[in-house]
Amino acid sequence: MTPQFSFAKSLAAVAKYSLLVLLYGTSVCSAHAPRHDQTLRLGGQRKHEKLNVFKARFPSSVCGEPLDPSHINRHTLNDPGNSDWLVCCIDDPKEVSAFSEFTVLSRDHNCPVLVDFYRGRLHNIVLAVDASSVEAVLPKFERVYGRVHHVRTVGTTIAPVRFALWNYGDATLEVNEELLVLNDFEMAPPPNRRTPDARIVLLTLF
């Protein structure tokens, strides 16, 4: 065996060993590093989901022409104005429970969970939960999506409210506080324990 061949063989062995160490180190780090789902979801639904997939998941939902951002015409199950917009309401308690472990509130007794579709694709989901602060709902989302991407506080004449959001691609998941005195969500029965600056939390996927 020539010295040159022996030297080349030693270099090859070192390179192979270094590669194995690198691969092992990468696999170990990957196993321990948290991997977060970058497909943002509410109630298992993601932005751009097809309408037929949504209806299969929530068969009791009712879809109709949007009257305004908060209400739908439950008696019109098509889009007579050809606007390409359709709003679906989820009010079956079992189906509503898929969206939060907190009590989901109803806006004007109209609908607990509103889902907008544009041209047969999910555009946004909106619901409100009976939680007193953004911090109350963050842990579950952070376990799935990692640390919040952006947090801000907005001052009001009564009390500051906080917003927190995640953003992946063209999808955003936002949680924000809203003062009860400024919203039209009805609490039944009205809780006397709440102060004038009491809050609920809105969950929005858009």
Q: Residues 128-152: pLDDT tens digits?
A: 999 988 999 999 999 989 888 988 8
What is the rounded CA–CA span in Å between residue 45 and residue 115?
10
Indicate the SS3 state at residue 43: coil
For the chain, the domains span 41-205
Instruction: Output the pLDDT for position 29.
Output: 35
Q: Which of 186, 141, 189, 181 is nearest to 165 (CA)?
A: 141
Rounded-to-5 percentages of helix, strand, coil across the chain: 25, 35, 40
Give the three-state DSSP class for 81.
Answer: coil
**CA nearest neighbour of 205 among 169, 179, 178:** 169
- Provide the mean pLDDT of the chain: 75
User: What is the SS3 assignment for 166?
Assistant: strand
Q: What is the pLDDT of residues 78-134, one digit of tens each?
A: 555 555 888 898 989 999 999 999 999 886 667 899 999 998 899 999 999 999 889
Mean pLDDT across 22-32: 35
DSSP 12-40: HHHHHHHHHHHHHHHHHHHHHS-----S-
pLDDT at 30: 34
Q: State the number of CA atoms in the 13 A half-sphere of 160 facing the CB.
A: 8
* CB count in 10 Å sphere of residue 31: 8
pLDDT score recorded for residue 40: 94
Who's near 60: CB < 8 A, 6+ residues apart? 90, 91, 92, 95
Omega before 190 cis (within 30°)? no
Record the tokens describing residue 137, joined without a space.
């709902």
CB 203 within 8 A of CB 99: yes
What is the reported pLDDT for 182? 55
The whole-angstrom separation of Cα 204 and Cα 101 is: 15
Please tell me the distance from the alpha carbon of residue 32 to that of residue 182, in angstroms, as a whole number: 45
How far is the C-alpha of 11 from the C-alpha of 120, rounded, in Å?
60
Q: What is the pLDDT of residue 75?
A: 59
